[in-house]
Amino acid sequence: MTQASTGASQGGTPAVSAPQAVIFTGSGAEYFGIWIVNLLLTIVTVGIYSSWAKVRRLQYFYRHTEVAGSSFDFHGNPIKILIGRVIALAMLIAYNFSVRLHSPLTLVVVVGIAIVMPWLLRNSFRFRLYNTSWRGVRFHFRGSVAGSYRVFLLNGFLAVITLYVMAPFMHQRLKAYQHNNSWFGRTQCSFHAAAGQFYPIYLVLLAGLVIFGIVLGFSGIGSAFIAVSNAQKHAAHPNPFAFLRLLGVLYGALLVVGLLVGPIFHALITNLIWRNTRIGEHRIECNMSPWGLVWIGVSNLALTVVTLGLFIPWAMVRLAKFQLEAVRLVPAGDLQEFVAAEPDKISAVGEETATAFDFDISL
Amino acid sequence: MLTAEYFDGQSTRVRVVNLEADGQFLSIAGEDIERRIPFGEVKVDERLGRAQRRLHFSDGAFCAVRDLDALDVLLASVAHRDGWVDRAQRRARSVLIALLAVAVLAFAGYVWVLPWAAGKAAAKLPAVVGRQLSVQTLRVLDGNILLPSRIPQDRQRTLSAEIHALRLPGGGVPESELLFRRSPQLGANAFTLPDGTIVILDDLITVIDDDPQILATIAHELGHAHGHHGLQILLQGSVVGTFLAFYVGDISSLLAVAPATLVNASYSRELEEQADEYGAAVLRLNGMSPALLAEALKKLADSHRGGGEMGYLSTHPATEERVRHLREMSR
């Protein structure tokens, strides 16, 4: 439909340079049915069905995301995702036990995970992109294994030994690795933001966290909280009132960080990253309003709590719509001329492991 | 006749085509394309919301259709039937049934299955797990909210000897290690660590100030140790935390942090009752009255009420109910 109308407005010639807004057409009410049925099947199958549920969730969101009149699609195989999840769960259990029980094995497990993680993350990018298509042409990720070790292990190490002064630099290198190695069919993507552009946004984050720290320090509550919550966690029963008061203050502070500082940082950094990403010669605009994202987060959280979680499908749809519709594609030429590449098969192990360990693998 | 967009799977070129059912064939006709494909070789996507629905062909080409109702008519004419999950997802009745089933299962799982499974697992875990957890907990607590005890050494020894002389319902005597500590923040209290170690705070001894009643509170703590309640609560918290993190984590990782601690509050009451029952059994076995524990609980509740900020505990009905229950048991 959009295709037809833009074509007509240019008097017959294809409208190659008109910016194409990303449109998200999903609805919370529709998604609720999918969400609850798949949730029930997941519970009844003690979690096994969750891989199928995940594929359906991604398909719902991808297929309702349209650019230039055509939607995306997700092609992931649920069985592969299930295998990935089993491996991820095994790693998670090994990690949790080894961290809690100090033994010589701890070091072996942690080092082992650190060594396979970059490889798994690279696989996760490959899996996610390979299974994403637009108009039948698939995306690809062609980053090298060596590159992933450089980006995750070497740069991660540098960030830590420089007390995170190099964290923005590491973030820039990571995004460059991801985006420069992403392809749409035979068209390569490229990343143009310099590390210097990441630093001002990280300063905003730092300022927010410093204010959070000062408030927490002034209330003298940090150390007391850690002590009391540990007692609580290990089944002791200290004075419940004092505990609730501490909990209230700490969650208040956490809410400020999670609902204010976090989203503002996320919006600013997302705008920077996508404005500096190109698909071939086609540019991308991204204008996500930081305060708009704060509002989505606050209202989603409030409504999710009030409805005991039933609002979750609406919350997911609202967030997706807000984030996706901030993006526009500015074509430099005909969007009909992308050509598919030779397909390569990809394993799902990486993606599941990465999500279980809570790494940001969003692209 | 149905309009669709045809993609060859090789390029992003859009071709507008018409689709028609022609016996057991799908005929596609439009801009320089003319195909007839047996329906048996067409893979039909699920109908997800209002998204374009795709008909995939074996060579990677596909058609995207916007008019979903017209497509349903066409598919019905070739006796295509959507999968049962696909149908269930968009039928109001099955969605409602799923909602009710999820609510019932979540409630049953939380109230019965989880405590039962966590209790079983806690009893089976190797002792070293509880030991390690206790060592870690003490390391965090000591010097933080736990200070060295000011109770004289010989008084500590007398109490320990009395406690370790108690006979237990299953036979034998308590093996729990006893630790004496002082804590201005926690006040008059005693608690049991995951390996059964019992921490007795100075204020508890001074507030109760009566050896049989102190023994009664420790008998209650022995109930926690006997039931592996520490590990059970830990396991329950981890399971609920993981579960919620999985489902709520998509929206806000904040909510995912909360449950592990919040969930303990609601479980503790039942475990307290179990520990009371065990404590009462220990007391009866040693020729003492369960009413001693009731008296001790009242003294502890009163001491917390005096503190002002401890109002929550005293206004909480649980203590009164426990006291009444213990007095009934002592008759």
Give residue-wise pLDDT tens across range A135-193: 999 998 888 889 999 998 888 888 888 888 888 999 999 999 999 999 998 899 999 99
Q: Residues of chain B with pLDDT > 70: what percent? A: 87
pLDDT at A342: 61
- The pTM of the full predicted model, rounded to 2 decimals, is 0.78
Least confident segment among A231-235, A356-360, B25-29, B136-140: A356-360
The token pair at B164 is 């370790």
Select the residue of B254, B265, B268 nearest A255 (Cβ to Cβ): B254
Q: How many CB atoms lie under 10 A from the CB of residue A203?
A: 11
Residue pLDDT, tens place only, B267-298: 567 788 888 999 999 999 999 999 999 998 88
CB–CB of B65/B52 below 8 Å? yes
Residue identified by tokens 């009255």 is B289
**Separation of alpha carbons B112 and B117, rounded Å:** 9
Query: Quick check: A45 contacting B, CB < 8 Å?
Result: no
Residues 121 through 140 of chain A touching chain B, CB cutoff 8 Å:
134-137
CB-based contact A70 B14, cutoff 8 Å: yes
B311 has a pLDDT exceeding 50 = no
For an interface test with A, give the residue of B107, B138, B229, B251 to mutate (most A CBs within 10 A): B251
B258 has a pLDDT exceeding 50 = no
B313 has a pLDDT exceeding 50 = no
Query: Quick check: A302 contacting B, CB < 8 Å?
Result: no
The token pair at A88 is 């991820």
Residue ranges for chain A with pLDDT beneath 70: 1-16, 99-103, 216-252, 342-363
| Closest listed residue to residue A224, CA positions, set B149, B144, B136 | B144
Query: Quick check: B142 contacting A, CB < 8 Å?
Result: no
How high does pLDDT run on average in chain B?
A: 84
pLDDT at A99: 66
Select the residue of B14, B51, B133 nearest A135 (Cβ to Cβ): B14
**Separation of alpha carbons B159 and B148, rounded Å:** 17
Residues 262 through 301 of chain B touching chain A, CB cutoff 8 Å:
264-265, 268
pLDDT at A246: 59
pLDDT at B97: 97
Least confident segment among A122-126, B24-28, B49-53: A122-126
Select the residue of B9, B109, B230 nearest A340 (Cβ to Cβ): B9
CA of B267: how far to CAs of A24, A145, A234, A305, B197, in Å?
A: 43, 48, 13, 20, 21
Select the residue of A36, A38, A336 nearest B13 (Cβ to Cβ): A336
Query: Could you write out the DSSP letters of every residue in B248-300?
Result: HTTT-HHHHHSHHHHHHHHHHHHHHHHHHHHHHHHHHHTT--THHHHHHHHHH
Query: Quick check: B168 contacting A, CB < 8 Å?
Result: no
Query: Could you write out the DSSP letters of every residue in A201-222?
Result: HHHHHHHHHHHHHHHHHHTT-H
Residues 235 through 294 of chain A touching chain B, CB cutoff 8 Å:
235-242, 244-245, 247, 251, 254-255, 258-259
CA of A41: how far to CAs of A130, B99, B160, in Å?
A: 27, 11, 54
- Bigger pLDDT: A83 or B203? B203
**Separation of alpha carbons B321 and B315, rounded Å:** 12
Q: Which chain A residues touch B253 with a CB distance below 8 Å?
A: 258
Minimal-distance CA residue of chain B relative to A62: B51
Q: Which chain B residues touch A310 with a CB distance below 8 Å?
A: 99
B241 has a pLDDT exceeding 80 = no
Query: Quick check: B102 contacting A, CB < 8 Å?
Result: yes
Would you say the ipTM is above 0.85? no
| Closest listed residue to residue B20, CA positions, set B40, B37, B43, B44 | B37
Residues 193 through 212 of chain B touching chain A, CB cutoff 8 Å:
193-194, 199
CB-based contact A233 B234, cutoff 8 Å: yes
CB-based contact B185 A242, cutoff 8 Å: yes
At B312, is the pLDDT very low, low, confident or very high (cuts 50, 70, 90)? very low
pLDDT at B27: 94
Domains in chain B: ranges and CATH: 2-81 (2.30.29.30), 111-330 (no CATH)
Q: Distance between the two ends of chain A, CA-based, in angstroms?
A: 28
Q: Which chain A residues touch B88 with a CB distance below 8 Å?
A: 37
Query: Quick check: B127 contacting A, CB < 8 Å?
Result: no
